[in-house]
């Protein structure tokens, strides 16, 4: 008898794989993609091939350091247009699968909802279709909730299929640290540890009310639910709507003068406001990201009265600039504007990626 299943499709080393398709001679080599492909410039790794990851290189690492770790690596510049085109091909394949409901999560991943007797067979059929039509490999997590499907994918990599359900969730995940859960980062795992919760099993067994003082009445119970792998079971194909837009710039030379910082923030604000204007929704919050030299990052955020006035947004942004620590060289600045949502009822049911 057919049952509803959630499949999480995650393209393997997506950006690196796209580059290898364009340059077959790179197959099997350590490849780093980041910035303009120049490790002498300030940039971070966007992705690394599996061969490069074996040296301890990961996304977000300074490209200069990654190049030192992998001296023989081929270093390439980021080509967003190529990755977007490849992503669109893959998503088109997913949409074409029989009975599939597709919820796109990003360039390289999506949920697929399907009614089937054999979800593993469906997953392998889907992998074959993606590979045949795009020449890209993907891993598929199978689950009875979105959370379990998403977590299952990590056990299927690379190019495999793995199932996580209520029946085997704690057997597989129970002894693992909470940071391995989708939606739990370093900061949250540390806060959980302060409560004596270090593993997924301990979080699953926690009384949701005991988490409220630390995380609040909404997020406390939600983290307890996450520990059990529970949550949404239906893939929602409603078109995704951005909650905010962000831009950031890494400077090849540190900013040290207030005038330089103001000019850089004004330029960022202008670019963010262009993106926001295209959405036609008011701004309700701002976050300024500052990376001080050598590599310490801090964010300054505030809610603002709902406004569509660019001058008002800029004024509020410059108020955040006043919080920047004086006399500290700055290597990166970023600005994110949060907007009102057409329907906030969909937000918060599943973990979402940060704007940064």
Tens-place pLDDT, residues 241-283: 889 999 999 999 999 999 999 999 999 999 999 999 998 999 9
pLDDT at residue 201, as a whole number: 98
Section 285-314 average pLDDT: 95
pLDDT at residue 242, as a whole number: 81
DSSP SS3 for 281: coil
Handedness of CA 92, 110, 107, 247 (dihedral sign): positive
Residue from 235, 84, 219, 83 nearest 150 by CA: 235
pLDDT at residue 354, as a whole number: 43
Query: Edge-to-edge strand order for the sheet containing 31-33?
Result: 47-48, 31-33, 74-76
Do residues 73 and 115 share a domain? yes
Please give the tally of structural domains in the chain: 3
Q: How far apart are CA 115 and CA 3, in angstroms?
A: 5
| pLDDT tens, residue by residue, 134-193 | 999 999 999 999 999 999 999 999 999 999 999 999 999 999 999 999 999 999 999 999
Per DSSP bridges, beta strands 244-255 and 330-339 are: antiparallel
| pLDDT tens, residue by residue, 84-112 | 999 999 999 999 999 999 999 989 999 99
Q: Where are the alpha helices (DSSP H) in 229-291?
A: 258-279
Calculate what percentage of the chain has a pLDDT beyond 90: 91
* pLDDT tier for residue 343 given thresholds of 50, 70 and 90: low
Place of tokens 């129970």: 174
Q: How far apart are CA 181 and CA 2, in angstroms?
A: 28
In a domain, 347, yes or no: no
Task: Indicate which CATH number applies to the domain containing 4.
Answer: 3.30.70.270
Final residue in a domain of this structure, among 110, 136, 164: 164
pLDDT at position 348 over 50: no
Do residues 65 and 142 share a domain? yes
Final residue in a domain of this structure, among 109, 140, 164: 164
First-to-final CA distance of the chain: 43
pLDDT at residue 187, as a whole number: 92
DSSP SS3 for 290: strand
pLDDT at residue 347, as a whole number: 42
Contact, 308 vs 340, CB < 8 A?
no
Do residues 316 and 298 share a domain? yes
Calculate what percentage of the chain has a pLDDT beyond 70: 96
Do residues 315 and 190 share a domain? no
pLDDT at residue 89, as a whole number: 97
Q: Which domain holds residue 294?
A: 244-340
Do residues 223 and 260 share a domain? no
Do residues 297 and 265 share a domain? yes
Catalytic residue among 109, 120, 180, 306: 109
Q: How many CB atoms lie within 10 A of CB 317?
A: 23
Average pLDDT of the chain? 94
User: On the CB side of 196, how many CA atoms lie within 13 Å of its CA?
Assistant: 4
* pLDDT tier for residue 208 given thresholds of 50, 70 and 90: very high
| pLDDT tens, residue by residue, 175-187 | 999 999 999 999 9
Section 21-40 average pLDDT: 96
pLDDT at residue 356, as a whole number: 57
Section 312-326 average pLDDT: 96
Annotated catalytic, 257? Answer: no
pTM: 0.80
């Amino acid at each position: 008898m057919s049952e509803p299943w959630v499949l999480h499709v995650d393209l393997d080393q997506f950006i690196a794989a796209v580059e290898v398709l364009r340059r077959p001679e790179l197959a099997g080599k350590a490849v780093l993609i980041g910035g303009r492909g120049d490790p002498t410039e300030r940039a971070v790794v966007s992705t690394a091939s599996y061969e490069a990851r074996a040296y301890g290189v990961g996304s977000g690492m300074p490209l200069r350091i990654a190049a030192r770790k992998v001296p023989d690596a081929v270093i390439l510049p980021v080509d967003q247009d190529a990755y977007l085109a490849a992503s669109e091909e893959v998503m088109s394949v997913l949409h074409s699968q029989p009975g599939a409901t597709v919820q796109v999560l990003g360039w390289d991943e999506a949920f697929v909802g399907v009614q089937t007797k054999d979800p593993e067979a469906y997953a392998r059929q889907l992998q074959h279709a993606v590979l045949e039509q795009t020449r890209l490999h993907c891993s598929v997590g199978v689950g009875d909730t979105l959370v379990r499907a998403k977590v299952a994918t990590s056990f299927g990599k690379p190019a495999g299929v793995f199932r996580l359900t209520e029946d085997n969730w704690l057997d597989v995940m129970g002894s693992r640290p909470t940071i391995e859960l989708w939606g739990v980062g370093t900061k949250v795992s540390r806060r959980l540890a302060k409560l004596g919760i270090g593993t997924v099993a301990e979080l699953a067994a926690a009384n949701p009310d005991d988490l409220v003082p630390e995380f609040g009445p909404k997020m406390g119970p939600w983290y307890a639910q996450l520990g059990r792998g529970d949550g949404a079971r239906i893939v929602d194909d409603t078109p995704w709507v951005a909650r905010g837009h962000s831009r950031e710039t890494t400077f090849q030379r540190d900013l040290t003068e207030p005038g330089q910082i103001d000019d850089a923030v004004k330029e960022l604000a202008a670019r963010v406001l262009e993106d926001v204007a295209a959405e036609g929704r008011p701004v309700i919050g701002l976050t300024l990201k500052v990376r001080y030299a050598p590599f310490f990052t801090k964010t300054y955020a505030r809610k603002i009265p709902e406004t569509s006035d660019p001058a008002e947004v800029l004024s509020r942004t410059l108020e955040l600039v006043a919080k920047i620590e004086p006399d500290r060289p700055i290597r990166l600045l970023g600005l994110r504007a949060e907007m009102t949502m057409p329907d906030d009822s969909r937000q918060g049911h599943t973990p979402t990626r940060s704007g940064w």
